Amino acid sequence: MEAHLSILNDQTLVLNQSWAAISTTSVREALGMIFTGSARAVEPETYLVHAFESWSNLAVEPDQPCVRTVSLKVRVPEVIVLTHFNGMPRPNATFSRRNLFRRDQNRCQYCSKHPGTSELTIDHVLPRSRGGLSTWTNCVLACVPCNRRKANKLPHEAHMRLLRPAAEPNWTPVMEVPLGRMRQTWRHFISDRYWNAELEP
């Protein structure tokens, strides 16, 4: 039973009507969307598209994950394509230490150096002691020497300048999927730059 629930919680890639990857959803939600007709299941190797009836009639190979019901054994849909939506929703990047390193490319935003992860700190442009918040628009990476120099000041008070204004990154939804959770079959629909991108802390 636990294995079955685990499969239902696995991720399915969602494509819009133009077959652009826009997000992921759980296998459970994907099957529901196929059943109601709001999406079709895609065979990644052949690009054939299936409604629920034809998808549930496909043979399940011994090594293929599947969902079992009382009367059916249904393949896990690894990719679905929406039948009505053709837009690209604006992603909301999660504010986290890892994503901040990724946005700033492991570079000090004051001196532009790449000192190494252990020598980079998170600087609040408006210091927390002066009401600054931990947000995309108030946090940047700073090397230890620059952080010490800026201390409890605003950049201009410390005679320092940011390389660029702190801002929320505009990443596509697929970029937000941890690489460790990506399926091999998604390679057909996701650019190699997502797979080959260097992971940053």
Share above pLDDT 70 across residues of the chain, in percent, rounded to a whole number: 83
Listed residue (21, 22, 11) closest to 182, CA to CA:
11
Residue with tokens 């992971």: 199
Gap between the Cα atoms of 36 and 30, Å rounded: 10
CA 136 from centre of chain: 17
Report the chain's terminal Cα–Cα distance, integer Å.
Answer: 35
- pTM, whole model, 2 decimals? 0.55
pLDDT for the residue 187: 78
Q: Which CATH class is domain 93-170?
A: mainly alpha
d(CA 200, CA 103): 10
Query: Within the chain, which residue ranges are assigned CATH 1.10.30.50?
Result: 93-170
Q: What residues have CB less than 8 Å from 132, skipping those under 6 apart? A: 124, 125, 126, 138
Each residue's pLDDT expressed in tens, for the chain with a length of 201 residues = 344 567 888 889 999 888 888 888 899 999 999 999 999 999 988 899 999 999 999 988 888 888 887 778 899 999 999 998 766 666 667 888 988 998 999 999 999 999 988 999 999 999 999 999 999 999 999 999 999 999 999 999 999 999 999 998 876 555 455 556 678 888 778 754 444 444 433
